[in-house]
């Protein structure tokens, strides 16, 4: 990397980190925690991925609250691009490694990790570091590069998307965890928990050829919801998404948000994104469409949020 680009990246990353700790706290401070009331969402800032995951899950009641002994568990990261971790195109491999370990420690029978990638699946899995991280933690990597891995399911509540071919590992799972990376996206504007569903389906072209924002909301109506959504914002691609071009597109903000409420977590993630680069909620149409589907609320005043700074 040229020295000029490196200096630019360092300035952006440093500014984003300081803005995030103060700005995100303001963005998520519209509610009041009580000692007796368990949070519905936890936002952790300032630590490494495994440490932030520990803090978040502890605040939510522990991994045992969501993953039970003997269950077949699927973890769905974003592994869509042939990019190394520092470029923030894919979910942080250290977060996936820590999560796989936690699920197995909770007694999961097996933990499978997959994504329907945009680039060559083997290169994506390897370059992202997620294949190695999953194997080191004791998990199983499964491909999603052929239609044979997908089965048709009905989406009776979809407005445009009435059915979809969904990866068989999810259909067969007892529980699954949605683990996107927060980043910019040219079409959807924001790529986060709801957008991460596009990696569970076979035919993504239908989404792009029709109303992308509505189709994103529609796929999230599938009856088997993730037990948790875990938003990786350790590094955030704030421009040129979803692939990114260079480190100048990335801000290191060392943050993590966890919640079962997919609309609320994406709304909170948008607030975090806006501390680095402004993006109006109206541009992220799948949020309001998801709320219309009764998948969660965009009103964070209704959400009990706990904030933790490491």
Rounded to whole angstroms, what are the CA distances from 102 to 7, 50, 96, 216?
Answer: 37, 10, 10, 29
CB contact at 8 A, 260 and 176: no
Cα separation, 300 vs 263, whole angstroms: 10
Tokens representing 269?
A: 């993630």
Cα separation, 290 vs 280, whole angstroms: 16
Name which of 9, 6, 5, 4 is nearest 236 in CA terms.
Answer: 9
C-alpha dihedral, 180 to 73 to 60 to 196, nearest 10°: 20
Rounded to whole angstroms, what are the CA distances from 55 to 18, 35, 94?
Answer: 21, 16, 15
CB contact at 8 A, 75 and 113: yes
Rounded to whole angstroms, what are the CA distances from 281 to 118, 207, 229, 270, 284?
Answer: 26, 20, 20, 8, 5
| In the chain, domain spans | 47-309
Name which of 279, 259, 280, 269 is nearest 56 in CA terms.
Answer: 259
Digit-by-digit pLDDT tens for the chain (310 residues) are 433 333 333 334 444 444 445 555 655 554 444 445 789 999 999 999 999 999 999 999 999 999 999 999 999 999 999 999 999 999 999 999 999 999 999 999 999 999 999 999 999 999 999 999 999 999 999 999 999 999 999 999 999 999 999 999 999 999 999 999 999 999 999 999 999 999 999 999 999 999 999 999 999 999 999 999 999 999 999 999 999 999 999 999 999 999 999 999 999 999 999 999 999 999 999 999 999 999 999 999 999 999 999 9
CB contact at 8 A, 41 and 268: yes
Cα separation, 179 vs 310, whole angstroms: 21
pLDDT at 22: 57
- Phi and psi torsions of 223, nearest 5°: -65, -25
Question: Was domain 47-309 assigned CATH 3.40.50.11440?
Answer: yes
The conformation of residue 248, written as its DSSP 8-state character, comes to G
pLDDT at 33: 46
pLDDT at 6: 31
Name which of 180, 193, 187, 179 is nearest 267 in CA terms.
Answer: 193
The conformation of residue 6, written as its DSSP 8-state character, comes to H
Residue 161 CB neighbours (<10 A): 22
Long-range contact list for 201-208, CB < 8 A, 24+ apart? 201/116, 201/150, 201/164, 201/165, 201/166, 201/167, 202/116, 202/147, 202/149, 202/150, 202/164, 202/165, 202/166, 202/167, 203/164, 203/165, 204/116, 206/161, 207/161
pLDDT at 202: 98
CB contact at 8 A, 263 and 289: no
What residues contact 14, with CB distance under 8 A and at least 6 apart? none
Cα separation, 112 vs 169, whole angstroms: 8
- Phi and psi torsions of 31, nearest 5°: -130, 175
CA 241, 244, 249, 254 dihedral sign is positive
pLDDT at 38: 85
Cα separation, 207 vs 215, whole angstroms: 6
- Phi and psi torsions of 42, nearest 5°: -125, 130
């Amino acid at each position: 990397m040229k020295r000029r680009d490196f200096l630019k990246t360092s300035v952006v990353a440093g500014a984003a980190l300081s803005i995030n700790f103060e700005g995100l706290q303001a963005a998520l401070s519209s509610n009041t925690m009580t000692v007796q009331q368990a949070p519905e969402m936890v936002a952790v800032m300032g630590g490494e991925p495994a440490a932030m995951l520990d803090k978040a899950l502890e605040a939510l009641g522990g991994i045992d609250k969501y993953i039970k002994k003997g269950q077949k568990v699927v973890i769905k990261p974003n592994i869509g691009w042939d990019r190394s971790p520092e470029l923030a195109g894919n979910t942080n491999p250290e977060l996936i490694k820590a999560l796989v370990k936690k699920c197995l420690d909770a007694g999961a029978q097996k933990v499978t990790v997959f994504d329907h990638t945009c680039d060559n699946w083997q290169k994506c899995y390897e370059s992202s570091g997620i294949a190695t991280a999953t194997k080191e933690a004791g998990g199983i990597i499964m491909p999603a590069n052929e239609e044979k891995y997908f089965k048709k399911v009905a989406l009776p509540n979809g407005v445009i998307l009435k059915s979809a071919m969904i990866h068989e590992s999810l259909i067969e799972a007892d529980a699954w965890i949605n683990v996107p990376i927060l980043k910019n996206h040219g079409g959807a504007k924001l790529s986060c928990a709801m957008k991460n569903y596009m990696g569970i389906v076979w035919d993504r072209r239908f989404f792009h050829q029709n109303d992308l924002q509505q189709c994103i909301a529609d796929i999230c109506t599938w009856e088997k919801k993730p037990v948790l959504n875990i938003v990786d914002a350790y590094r955030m691609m704030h421009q040129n998404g979803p692939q990114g071009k260079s480190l100048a597109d990335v801000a290191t903000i060392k943050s993590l948000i966890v919640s079962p409420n997919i609309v609320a977590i994406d709304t909170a993630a948008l607030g975090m994104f806006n501390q680095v680069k402004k993006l109006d909620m109206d541009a992220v149409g799948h949020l309001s469409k998801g709320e219309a589907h009764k998948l969660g609320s965009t009103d964070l005043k209704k959400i009990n949020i706990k904030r933790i700074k490491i």
